[in-house]
């Protein structure tokens, strides 16, 4: 793969204005969708009951929905889970039925036509617990971003910390926007995937920043733009190969991992794609826009012993 060797010299910074414009469009679309459409929160956040049942033959989903309507189960989401014979039913809080009795009422309704129905799984999350999980999840992401900014500022320089956090916020907003626009269920596994995306994207960004720091000391006559562009090219093969191998694993999880981790794998797939893009086209160009230079990374001069006497 000749386009991935260390002799490549693509001018990534030449298209940084286009990249910023594209990212701005994606971020605006994500924010608008989030505040107008919202997220399709799973039971982890909304509270409610989940019942998983199995049939001897392929389940008739429209018939199941009608059976639930007949006993006034409102807002139920009925879908196959893993196979045509297994059905997952997600229901919000029901005012007219106690939470402990919801699953029994559902099983009785589904078996009313003589079908043999087996309850495979059941779970319940209260609305207070769901709200707490939502708040704690958001707080976890904010704390993670703050800690990352402090870490990068200490390891490199504050302009690099702003660039890295800008890229991470960019990734999180777009992934959340994807879930809002597509209405894919947003549950705790997706929240975990978002935190994993932050770690993955940061790792890519730190690799590039390390090379930028080295090149600022080695390429003393080069401009900051030339140094950053060269650094991105030198780490390009590592960035692309890491993303490709990670994507192979995630695609396997998405297609063969089962319905339980489907949303988790989907969030990571989108996150890895966006994270790879942002580590090249957002983090480093943002640092350049803030005016980073070799003076920012030069070690402080140490006054040699006896130097002040020589001056006299």
The full set of domain ranges for the chain reads 13-40+130-296, 48-125
Query: Lowest-confidence range among 30-34, 123-127, 185-189?
Result: 123-127
Contact 149, 164 (CB under 8 A): yes
Contact 289, 282 (CB under 8 A): no
CA distances 151 to 105, 147, 253, 297, Å, are 53, 6, 32, 16
pLDDT tens figures, 17-51: 999 999 999 999 999 999 999 988 887 777 788 88
CATH of range 48-125; options 3.60.15.10, 3.30.70.100, 2.60.40.420, 3.40.50.920: 3.30.70.100
- According to the model, what pLDDT value does residue 176 have? 94
**Proportion of the chain in helix, strand, coil states, percent, rounded to 5:** 65, 10, 25
d(CA 229, CA 227): 6
d(CA 81, CA 58): 12
Contact 185, 257 (CB under 8 A): no
In the block, residue with structure tokens 């087996």: 118
The reported pTM is 0.78
- According to the model, what pLDDT value does residue 251 have? 93
- The reply to whether 48-125 shares the fold of 13-40+130-296 is no
pLDDT tens figures, 56-96: 888 888 888 888 888 888 778 888 887 888 888 888 877 77
Q: Supply the DSSP symbol for 145.
A: H
How large a percentage of the chain has pLDDT more than 70?
89
Contact 170, 282 (CB under 8 A): yes
**In sequence order, what are the residues at sequence separation of 6 or more whose Cβ sits closer than 8 angstroms to the Cβ of residue 72?**
94, 96
pLDDT of 301 strictly over 60? no
User: Which parts of 7-157 fold into alpha helices (H)?
Assistant: 16-36, 43-46, 61-70, 99-110, 127-155
pLDDT of 281 strictly over 60? yes
CATH superfamily, region 13-40+130-296: Multidrug efflux transporter AcrB transmembrane domain (1.20.1640.10)
pLDDT of 306 strictly over 90? no
pLDDT of 245 strictly over 70? yes
- According to the model, what pLDDT value does residue 43 have? 76
**What is the separation, in whole angstroms, between the first and last Cα of the chain?**
62
3-state secondary structure (DSSP) of residue 134: helix
d(CA 159, CA 296): 9
Q: Please list the residues that pair with 48 across neighbouring strands.
A: 125
């Amino acid at each position: 793969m000749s386009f991935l060797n260390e002799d490549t010299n693509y001018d990534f910074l030449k298209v940084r204005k286009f990249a910023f414009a594209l990212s701005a469009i994606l971020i605006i679309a994500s924010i608008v969708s989030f505040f107008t459409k919202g997220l399709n929160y799973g039971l982890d956040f909304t509270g409610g009951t989940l019942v998983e049942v199995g049939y001897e033959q392929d389940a008739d989903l429209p018939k199941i929905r009608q059976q639930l309507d007949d006993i006034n189960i409102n807002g139920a989401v009925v879908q196959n889970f893993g196979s045509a014979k297994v059905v997952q039913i997600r229901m919000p809080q029901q005012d007219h039925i106690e939470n402990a009795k919801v699953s029994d009422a559902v099983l009785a309704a589904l078996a009313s036509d003589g079908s043999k129905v087996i309850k495979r799984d059941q779970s319940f999350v209260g609305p207070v617990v769901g709200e707490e999980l939502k708040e704690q999840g958001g707080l976890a992401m904010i704390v993670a971003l703050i800690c990352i900014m402090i870490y990068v500022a200490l390891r490199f320089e504050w302009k690099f910390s702003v660039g890295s956090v800008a890229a991470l916020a960019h990734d999180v907003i777009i992934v959340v926007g994807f879930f809002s626009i597509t209405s894919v269920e947003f549950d705790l596994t997706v929240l975990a995937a978002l935190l994993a995306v932050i770690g993955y994207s940061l790792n890519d960004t730190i690799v590039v920043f390390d090379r930028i720091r080295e090149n600022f000391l080695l390429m003393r006559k080069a401009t900051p733009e030339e140094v950053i562009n060269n650094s991105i090219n030198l780490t390009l093969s590592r960035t692309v190969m890491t993303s490709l191998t990670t994507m192979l694993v995630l695609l396997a999880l998405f297609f063969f991992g089962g319905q339980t981790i489907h949303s988790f794998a989907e969030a990571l797939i989108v996150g890895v794609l966006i994270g790879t893009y942002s580590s090249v086209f957002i983090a480093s160009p943002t640092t350049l826009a803030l005016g980073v230079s070799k003076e920012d990374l030069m070690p402080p001069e140490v006054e040699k012993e006896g130097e002040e006497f020589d001056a006299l």
